[in-house]
Structure 1
Amino acid sequence: MNQGIQSTPSGDEGKLKLAIQKSGRLHDDSLKLLKECGIDISNGVNKLKSEASNFPLEVFFLRDDDIPQYVEDAVADIGFVGENVVYEKNKKIDVVEKLGFGKCRLSIAVTRGDVYDDVNFLEGKRIATSYPVLVQNFLNEKGINAEIHEISGSVEIAPGIGLAEAICDLVSSGSTLFMNGLKEVETILQSQAVLIRNRQLAPGQQAILDKLLFRIQSVKKAKNNKYVLLNAPNDNLQQIISLLPGMKSPTVLPLAEEGWSSVHSVISESTFWDIIEKLKAAGAQGILVVPIEKMII
């Protein structure tokens, strides 16, 4: 293996080896997630690996394109990497958990002046991309014959210099496409960071992974929910409670002022504003919304 990182015997069950991106869009969020999980990692300048001080975890800092191969070869036991890389490399690994960050999409784009009615526009065209496997799979599925030009970096410039009539690249906001005179026309894959694992983990390593997953899932649940406190008139208390399912049921405490109660609950981020509007309409007052750091169910 390159970069000076070598495989260690698979019988070492006392520690889990995690590969993350050494630089780029997933690096900072990967370290942030570990910190939110209560895992302290010292990431010095140009370090290829580091050990957690309070969890049986060793972290390797690698190129994202190499991570699936390292995990398949058991140089790393697990990895944080984009789904786009996982499916492009198509290695013998398992996707264990979606991590909720690094969200983007792999899309085909053409010049803004092109009239694009459907995927048949791509018939016989040249497509520049860093993801030839995923693009070819898409074309095969649609029954389209096109010529794929594999390039790395600066894919958006390909139509402007006559290399291709279309491109396929990762898109987040779409601003880069716009600045290069392109428009998004087909989405091949919705992608985010995922946790992948080697298929031959030893029992002790799997036990450590289970502990890590428990922490990750608790952090994710916390981000997707809000803790809400409000004052409710007792006359409308049952109606207000019916709007707040919480994890089990809302907590209700009497206030010093007669005829009023304090209600505490958890609301999902996806339904938050709709429920808040209904609570106000039902007479709730003094609504406080508090972020949740961890959520253990």
Structure 2
Amino acid sequence: MKRLKIAIQKSGRLHEASLQMLAKAGIRVDNGNDRLKVAVKNFPIEILYLRNGDIPHYLADGTIDAAIIGENVLIEQDLQQSIVQRLNFSKCRLSIAIPNELTYNGIKSLEGKKIATSYPKTVHNFLTQKNIKAELHQLNGSVEIAPNMGMADAIVDIVSTGNTLFKNNLKEVEQVLTSEAVLSISPKLSPKLQDIVEKLLFRLRAVLQAKNTKYILLNAPNDKVPLIINDLPGMKSPTVLPLAEKGWSSIHSVIHEETFWEVIDQLKKKGAEGILICPIEKMVL
């Protein structure tokens, strides 16, 4: 049986989150005894645990068919065209940071400075767009220590919470790009595997749709129903069911997470009562 070879980080911030995403999509991965390659029993894929920095090369040459990887890593390797789905986890940003005691007067402050980073191509492209000439020093780890050791005037590194910068007496002054986990497909993917990719995307998108929405149930007087359903478009349109109490209806629909509280406020003003919000495990459109 043909299997899609998909890579995830062997270790690091994307490792557990990637496995959790696959699990929500009904793909059970048994790691066994620290194996680096695992054939999934209930879906035609094979998981390979690889070093983060190696994954783009394996994608480019077709050694692996797909990967769950940080968008920033693909951008550094100029492989962002291979992204087929953003996965809405492990969000971060690539940012410029300088020592707290230094004054930052905009991007021109970096002219002629030494900058340490693990993302030299991305930083070079960013500075070129800004017409800034700086001296880049590539480091593969512990970038934050570079200014304290006199190796650099600034750094460019991945920032999630900012705690690491704070601990190293650094402050974030400029954002280069934002990033999140993505599903990437090899440009050399065999057409015979495309059907498996589509099935995987179908499952992942069902999980993502559910994550971003809530199921809502409420009661309302019948004369208020037309006003209320204007705020509840749902997947096609809200479901309206009569209650045992005459003159009242139950309305069922779906609302988006980002507009949740605004919608609830509007519904209450328009006469909604007994509002119940439920999580959605999967949503198939």
CA contact 2:146–2:155 (8 Å) conserved in 1:
yes
Amino acid at match of 1:49: K
Give the corresponding residue for 1:248. Answer: 236
Amino acid at match of 2:221: P
Structure 1 residues 182 and 39, CA, compared in 2 at 3 Å: closer, same or farther? Answer: same
CA contact 1:219–1:295 (8 Å) conserved in 2:
yes
Among candidates 78, 82, 104, match of residue 90 of structure 1: 78
Percent identity of paired positions between Structure 1 and Structure 2? 56
Cα offsets for 1:88-143 (capped at 9, x unmatched): 12259611111111100000011122211210000111111111111111111111
Structure 1 residues 242 and 61, CA, compared in 2 at 3 Å: closer, same or farther? Answer: same
1:14 aligns with 2:5: no
1:61 aligns with 2:49: yes
- Distance in 1, Cα, partners of 2:108 & 2:74: 28
CA contact 1:83–1:194 (8 Å) conserved in 2:
yes
- Distance in 2, Cα, partners of 1:258 & 1:80: 53
CA contact 1:112–1:183 (8 Å) conserved in 2:
yes
Among candidates 153, 159, 164, match of residue 165 of structure 1: 153
Among candidates 113, 128, 138, match of residue 140 of structure 1: 128
Give the corresponding residue for 2:15. Answer: 27
Identify unmatched segments of 5+ residues in structure 2.
none
Aligned pairs for 1:1-297 within 5 A: 14-91=2-79, 94-297=82-285
CA contact 2:6–2:48 (8 Å) conserved in 1:
yes
Cα offsets for 1:218-246 (capped at 9, x unmatched): 11011000000011111211111111010
Judge which range, 270-279 or 44-53, deviates more: 44-53
Amino acid at match of 1:181: N
- Distance in 2, Cα, partners of 1:211 & 1:198: 16
- Distance in 2, Cα, partners of 1:100 & 1:214: 15
Aligned length: 285
- Give the secondary-structure state (helix, strand or coil) at the position aligned to 2:161: coil
CA contact 2:61–2:188 (8 Å) conserved in 1:
no
Cα offsets for 1:137-177 (capped at 9, x unmatched): 11111111111111122211111121111000000111211
Cα offsets for 1:17-70 (capped at 9, x unmatched): 001101110001111111111111111343111011111100000011111111
CA contact 1:93–1:197 (8 Å) conserved in 2:
no
- Distance in 1, Cα, partners of 2:113 & 2:105: 15
Judge which range, 241-250 or 37-46, deviates more: 37-46
- Distance in 1, Cα, partners of 2:80 & 2:172: 32
- Normalization by structure 1: what TM-score? 0.93
CA contact 1:21–1:61 (8 Å) conserved in 2:
yes
- Distance in 2, Cα, partners of 1:92 & 1:200: 15
Judge which range, 282-291 or 42-51, deviates more: 42-51
- Distance in 1, Cα, partners of 2:91 & 2:105: 27
- Give the secondary-structure state (helix, strand or coil) at the position aligned to 1:55: coil
Amino acid at match of 1:244: L
- Distance in 2, Cα, partners of 1:190 & 1:104: 6
Amino acid at match of 2:282: K
Amino acid at match of 1:53: K
Amino acid at match of 1:273: W
- Normalization by structure 2: what TM-score? 0.97
- Give the secondary-structure state (helix, strand or coil) at the position aligned to 1:75: coil
Superposed displacement of residue 196, structure 1: 1.0
- Distance in 1, Cα, partners of 2:32 & 2:144: 34
